[in-house]
Amino acid sequence: MMMNALEFFKNLPDKKCAKCGNAYEEQADCYGNLCENCDDPAR
Ligand SMILES: [Zn+2]
């Protein structure tokens, strides 16, 4: 069911960055287990 997608993400535990340990909200599947700061494609 399509509506369950939102509930699914709401119920996910906070992800933790593997690099800095900061909890962050998963924004895209390309981030892997790094927060957006550590996984900056510009670096
Ligand atoms: Zn990080």
pLDDT in tens, 1-43: 567 877 766 776 678 889 999 988 766 555 578 888 888 777 6
Residues 16 and 2: their CA atoms lie apart, in Å, by 27
Cα(24) to ligand 1 centroid in Å equals 8
Number of domains in the chain: 1
How confident is the model at residue 30, as a pLDDT? Answer: 53
Cα(13) to ligand 1 centroid in Å equals 16
23-24 and 15-16 as β-strands: parallel, antiparallel, unpaired? antiparallel
Cα(4) to ligand 1 centroid in Å equals 28
Range of the domain at 19: 1-43
The label of the residue with tokens 């509930």 reads 7
Single pTM value for the model = 0.48
Cα(1) to ligand 1 centroid in Å equals 33
Supply angle C-alpha 5, 12, 32, rounded to 5.
Answer: 95
